[in-house]
């Protein structure tokens, strides 16, 4: 993704629009952290009759904790601009959200929001932090198969 150390909503969503030629009922999106927001913002704007197979979101969030001032400046527009969750849900067959009990940025309460707003299947794991190391996330691989 462009400018990955300073992600901006329009820049990231535009990147998806430019690079995803077509999506259909066999398409799965997998995102981590701010990438989940990017996918949702992309999906809310696609043609109203387009439907994708699913989304796997790893450490997704709508609100964050534990950020320093630089991180908060980056996250602020993402946290404070609305997402049309109904539209996102209309486009997606199923959604899996993977959370960790010890994520330093994403509280477990976020899982309730994704369940309520998107009807997501929620998986909670221990000792995975923000899932930002290089280990495989088997739940995501299983979801897509």
> Does the residue 43 lie in any domain?
yes
Tell me: pLDDT of 22 over 80.
yes
pTM here is: 0.93
> Does the residue 16 lie in any domain?
yes
Q: Which residue is listed with tokens 């959604």?
A: 95
**Closest by Cα among 78, 35, 40, 83 to 59:** 35
The residues, any chain, with a CB within 8 Å of residue 75's CB and separated by 6 or more, are 34, 64, 67
**Paired strand residues for 72:** none
Q: Which domain holds residue 92?
A: 9-144
How far apart CA 131 and CA 103 sit, in angstroms, is: 8
> Does the residue 104 lie in any domain?
yes
Residue 57 · residue 143 · CB < 8 Å: no
Cα angle 40, 41, 43 (rounded to 5 degrees) comes to 65
- The domain that holds 124 is classified in CATH as 3.40.50.1820
pLDDT band at 21 (very low <50, low <70, confident <90, very high): confident
* Number of domains observed in the structure of the chain: 1
DSSP state, residue 113: H
Tell me: pLDDT of 31 over 90.
yes
Average pLDDT of every residue of the chain: 93
Predicted local distance difference test score (pLDDT) of residue 132 = 82
pLDDT band at 133 (very low <50, low <70, confident <90, very high): confident
How far apart CA 13 and CA 91 sit, in angstroms, is: 16
Section 66-92 average pLDDT: 96
> Does the residue 101 lie in any domain?
yes
> Does the residue 2 lie in any domain?
no
**Closest by Cα among 119, 4, 110 to 58:** 110
> Does the residue 49 lie in any domain?
yes
> Does the residue 128 lie in any domain?
yes
């Amino acid at each position: 993704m462009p400018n990955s150390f300073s992600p901006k909503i329009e820049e990231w969503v535009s990147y998806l629009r430019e690079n995803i030629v077509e999506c259909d009922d066999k398409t799965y999106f997998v995102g981590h952290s701010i990438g989940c927001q990017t996918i949702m913002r992309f999906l809310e704007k696609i043609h109203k009759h387009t439907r994708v197979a699913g989304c796997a979101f790893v450490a997704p969030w709508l609100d964050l904790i534990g950020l320093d001032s630089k991180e908060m400046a980056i996250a602020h527009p993402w946290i404070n601009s609305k997402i049309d969750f109904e539209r996102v849900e209309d486009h997606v067959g199923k959604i899996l959200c993977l959370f960790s009990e010890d994520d330093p940025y994403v509280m477990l309460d976020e899982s309730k929001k994704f369940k309520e707003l998107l009807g997501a299947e929620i998986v909670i794991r221990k000792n995975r932090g923000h899932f930002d190391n290089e280990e495989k996330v088997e739940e995501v691989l299983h979801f897509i198969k």
